[in-house]
Amino acid sequence: MTRPGLPKLIATDLDGTLVRSDETVSAYTHEVLDRVRAAGIPVVGATGRGPRLAELTRNDIRAADFLVMAGGGRVVDQTDPAGPVVLRDERLSGEVLAALLADLEAAVGPLTVMVEASDEHDAPLWGDYHPSWPYQDRFEARSRAECLSGDVIKAFARTADHHVDELLAVARRIVPPEAATLTQAGLGFVEISPPGVDKATGLSVVAERLGVDPAEVLVFGDQPNDLPMFGWAGWARVAVSNAHPDVRAAADEITLRNDDDGVAVYLDRLLSR
């Protein structure tokens, strides 16, 4: 059951949750989020997007006081008049990544691998070309050795023979949590992040800064990378109706799909109680 009154903090995933299938956010959604902030409730954009996409992310959730990016690896406070303040910046060693990719390939066969290494504006991912990757304009083919020559923000891996959920299950049996965090975000790739990095640990940085208890946080999501924050937040966990079955199962409530502004509709009703 949700708590009476209003939550003290609201966090929402972006792609597939707040952002519609045509990669836009409605004027209605922006207006409702502005009303949330006017009610004194801080807003957090919690996304798998890396810091190279910060400008796009700020445009998609203009009301955000904080951004939890790279699935929790980068946390930014946007409330300082002097400019954004980075509160968390985690990286995964290329050497560690090389070892766990080798272990995974020994179990499942060759992997298509991409890495997110740069936080420069609109920087490309590097690695193996794959036609299913939806953002080809931000991709650059590079050798595995080049990709793993330094620390990375996040890596992406897939095989030709495994559904992403199956590959994720195998990878979690092989890769210990102290080596890396594994998830998937609906792109057909397993995502490999530094250990201890997920949306819940990213949100906890924000909550601690604001003095908010997780039990007072409302979250929205659609993919397995949202499950950690569903497990962490206590006011309510809300899935859009287009969400992954595991996310729907973990949710307290289901709102309309992203293309029908489900997050905004839920929040509008909440503010109108």
CATH tag for 9-89+197-271 (out of 3.40.50.1000, 3.40.109.10, 3.20.10.10, 3.10.520.10): 3.40.50.1000
Is domain 94-193 classified as CATH 3.30.1240.10?
yes
Lookup: tokens for 27 = 């004027």
Q: pLDDT averaged over consecutive 10-residue blocks of the chain (273 residues)?
A: 78 98 97 96 97 96 98 97 95 97 96 96 94 89 96 96 95 96 96 98 98 97 98 97 98 98 98 89
- Write out the residue limits of the CATH 3.40.50.1000 domain(s) in the chain: 9-89+197-271
3-state helix, strand, coil split of the chain in percent (to 5) is 35, 25, 40
What's the CA gap between 236 and 268, in Å, rounded? 15
Q: What are the C-alpha distances in Å from 247 to residues 5, 161, 228, 254?
A: 25, 24, 10, 10
DSSP 8-state code for residue 2:
P
Residue 63 is given by DSSP the state: T
Global confidence as pTM? 0.95
The whole-angstrom separation of Cα 87 and Cα 256 is: 33
Q: Count CB-CB contacts under 10 A for residue 23.
A: 10
Over the stretch 170-193, which tens digit does the pLDDT of each residue have?
Answer: 999 999 999 999 999 999 999 999
Report yes or no: 158 and 111 within 8 Å, Cβ to Cβ.
Answer: yes
- pLDDT tens-place string over residues 36-72: 999 999 999 999 999 999 999 999 999 999 999 999 9
- Domain ranges in the chain with CATH number 3.30.1240.10: 94-193
Q: Is the dihedral of CA 113, 61, 67, 230 positive or negative?
A: negative
